[in-house]
Amino acid sequence: MFGLNDLYTAAEYFIVIAGELLLLFVAITFIVGLLMEYVSRDTIRNTLSGKRKGLGYFIGAGFGALTPFCSCSTIPILVGLLDAGVPFGTCLSFLVASPLLNPVIVGLLLLVIGLKGTVLYAVLGFIGAVIIGFLLERMGLASDVKEVTITGMNGGEPLTIAPGTPFLARTVPRVKRAARFAVGLFIQVVPYLLLGAGIGAFIYGFVPTDFVTTVAGSGNPFAIPVAAIIGVPMYIRAETIIPISGALIAKGMGVGAVVALIIGGAGMSIPEMTLLAAIFKKRLLAVFIATIFLVAVVAGFVFQYIPL
């Protein structure tokens, strides 16, 4: 039976992890909001258009890493990039990097796997995005993109500031819009963060350490691929899985399995698969899912065998 100490441990974990994640989330989203005031979707599209393919993969992954978009926003942007003539491989690198290297997700990971682990995650995610864009283009899969055009995409465009406007007059409106962006995104995401913190607290307080170590510890060679398989179709936001991952690591789950779970869930969730099915033909969709799974497994094993 569960004891009072278990309940106290779970409650303490929930308060600490929820407080840290919420504060960090607000700070990061505000900074990202300021960044997006100066970088419009047109800027992204124009920058990616006309670039040499080799450089385009890196720029596409870089822009993807800067965009705090969920699938419902990333997919319309992807269609806009394709319609603008941005090379297929560059678009795929953007598509992969956007959820995996979301600045909010990377920032929250600092609390779970530390600075070295987060840097390694970012490096592996960026390299994976570049390689996927390159390989899928070289495989000739650009022809598997359906002709889709999305009209009326919502704004998010930077303010138009007249030349010579004083610093405060041009900065304050942007700061206000960034704050509204942070608050709006916070309202959308806070239930998922609290849900994840609650599940993580339950795991931390009540799930036996021996059970987690046996099933998903670093000694189980199947833990990483199984975690990646679970993550790929799992309908859960990365903001939810991160606090859960912190509890699983504390209970003995291997960091490699946790990373595979996060990449699988963030890189290819059920909502994203549904949206991409309207854009990609079946062959391209299947290959894309398989490559996300492969990246998740490879990254998981790298984390398992590299001491942090």
The angle, 0 to 180 degrees and rounded to 10, between the axes of the packed helices 103-138 and 88-100 is 150
**Structural domain tally of the chain?**
1
Q: Does the residue 244 lie in any domain?
A: yes
Predicted confidence at residue 155, as pLDDT, reads: 44
Residue 47 lies in a domain: yes
66-90 pLDDT tens trace: 775 555 567 767 877 787 778 899 9
pLDDT average, residue stretch 234-239: 58
* Structural domain that includes position 57: 4-149+165-305
Closest CA to 275 of 129, 83, 146, 128: 146
Give the SS3 label for residue 121.
Answer: helix
For the residues 291-298, what does the mean pLDDT come to? 90
pTM assigned to the model: 0.70
Is the predicted pLDDT of residue 8 greater than 80, yes or no?
A: no
pLDDT at 122 over 70: yes
Question: In the chain, pLDDT over 70 holds for what percent of residues?
Answer: 75
At residue 123, does pLDDT exceed 90?
yes
Give exposure, 19-49, as e/b (b: 16+ Cβ within 10 Å). ebbbeebbebbbbbbbebbeeebeebbebbe
pLDDT of residue 152: 43
What does the pLDDT read at residue 116? 92
Residue 278 in 3-state DSSP? Answer: coil
Least confident of 61-75, 100-114, 241-255, 281-295: 61-75
> What pLDDT, on the 0 to 100 scale, is given for residue 4?
60
Say how far apart CA 297 and CA 305 lie, in whole Å: 13
The most confident of 42-56, 119-133, 192-206, by mean pLDDT: 119-133
Residue 41 domain-assigned (yes or no):
yes
155 domain-assigned:
no
**Where is mean pLDDT largest: 142-146, 151-155, 204-208?**
142-146
- Decide if 32 is inside a domain: yes
So what's the pLDDT on residue 228?
Answer: 82
Residue 168 has pLDDT above 90, yes or no: no
pLDDT of 40 above 70: no
Return the pLDDT at 302: 92
Residue 156 falls within a domain, yes or no? no
* Domain-embedded: residue 227: yes
Q: Would 139 be classed as within a structural domain?
A: yes
Note the pLDDT of residue 157. Answer: 53
What is the sign of the dihedral through the CA atoms of 229, 230, 234 and 239? Answer: negative
Residues 6+ apart with CB under 8 A from 16: none
